[in-house]
Amino acid sequence: MSTSDPFVHVINHPLVQHKLTLMRQKTASTTSFRTLLNELAMLMAYEVTRDMPTQAIQIDTPLESMTGRVIDGKKLALVSILRAGNGLLDGFLSVVPGARVGHIGLYRDPATLQAVEYYFKMPKDMPSRDVVVVDPMLATGHSAISAITRIKATQPKSIKFVCLLTCPEGVKALRAAHPDVEIFTAAIDRQLNDHGYILPGLGDAGDRIFGRTHDNRNHNPGLYQLSYSHRRGEIIARVCCFLTARLDICANVSDYFSILAAGLDTKISALSCALSSAK
């Protein structure tokens, strides 16, 4: 799909397309997938930050003093949609290490495909910041729309959305809900299937980042969603609520535990399977 929409940017750089093709292959290992995703994020960050504000500073070269310009990184906030968004976040932080970081935790209800929020934490002084929201996949658009709606309540200066892959349905939904938000992607794929997966896509980005595979999804995706994703979301939500309610600790430590809870997929998967067996 090509687009003439000035708010939708497909990054067609040869290196981006090369690495994306390698990631799409089902034979790509978890290590390879993570490495390629990190490299892609850094390459995409170049385009996304093209209009970032800079500030003048005085420096000394080996020969004389001069005025140079540097990225005003403190004015940028990177917001990751947990859990898969962290795969792009690391690459962006490699390029703009001075950026502040926010997280929003969402999981997709298997029955409605709607986004359910379980965590929300933004940097301070959001009205003075430009925000870049990162999530590898823009499929139905529900998660992106929900995340951006919540972020807009903090009144940032601007918002951009960055994804690895999207499809016409996702682009249309996000543009309709938030016409002021620019979309940056490496590719716009053909369509969604009946279970909300992008085709041809690359599979479940979160699963591939965290090294989890489920062959039964190919046979019965609906069963997979009901037996795993729904319980996973419930478990993560309960863990985060418990930590928020029970732990009287500093914000940074609280953030750490909440994000850790969102990322412990191996343990959550085991607990989810146990719950499924018990039922």
- In total, the chain counts a number of residues equal to 279
182-188 and 158-166 beta bridge pairing: parallel
Helix axes 230-246, 251-263, angle to 10 degrees: 160
Give the integer Cα–Cα distance in Å for 90 and 277.
36
What was the pLDDT predicted at 4? 82
Specify whether the CB–CB gap between 106 and 147 falls below 8 A.
yes
65-71 and 54-60 beta bridge pairing: antiparallel
Domain limits of the chain? Answer: 8-214
What are the structure tokens assigned to 246, written together?
């029970």
Give the integer Cα–Cα distance in Å for 21 and 41.
14
The secondary structure of residue 203, as a DSSP letter, is S
Tell me the CATH architecture of domain 8-214: 3-Layer(aba) Sandwich (3.40)
Q: Is 183 helix (H, G, I), strand (E, B) or coil?
A: strand
Give the integer Cα–Cα distance in Å for 201 and 23.
10
Tell me the pTM: 0.75
What was the pLDDT predicted at 25? 95
Helix axes 230-246, 265-278, angle to 10 degrees: 110
CB atoms within 10 A of CB 53: 13
What was the pLDDT predicted at 272? 53
What was the pLDDT predicted at 109? 76
What was the pLDDT predicted at 236? 58
One digit per residue, the tens of pLDDT, for the chain of length 279 reads 456 899 999 999 999 999 999 999 999 999 999 999 999 999 999 999 998 888 999 999 999 999 999 987 668 999 999 888 998 999 999 998 989 999 999 877 777 767 788 899 999 999 999 999 999 999 999 999 999 999 999 999 999 999 999 999 999 999 999 999 999 999 999 999 988 899 999 998 888 988 876 543 444 444 344 444 445 555 555 555 555 444 444 444 445 455 555 545 444 554 555 555 555
Nearest 5°: phi and psi at 171?
-60, -45
What was the pLDDT predicted at 238? 53
CA dihedral over 25, 31, 35, 37, signed as positive or negative: positive
C-alpha R_g of the chain: 19
Q: Comparing C-alpha atoms, which of 12, 76, 87 is closest to residue 44?
A: 12
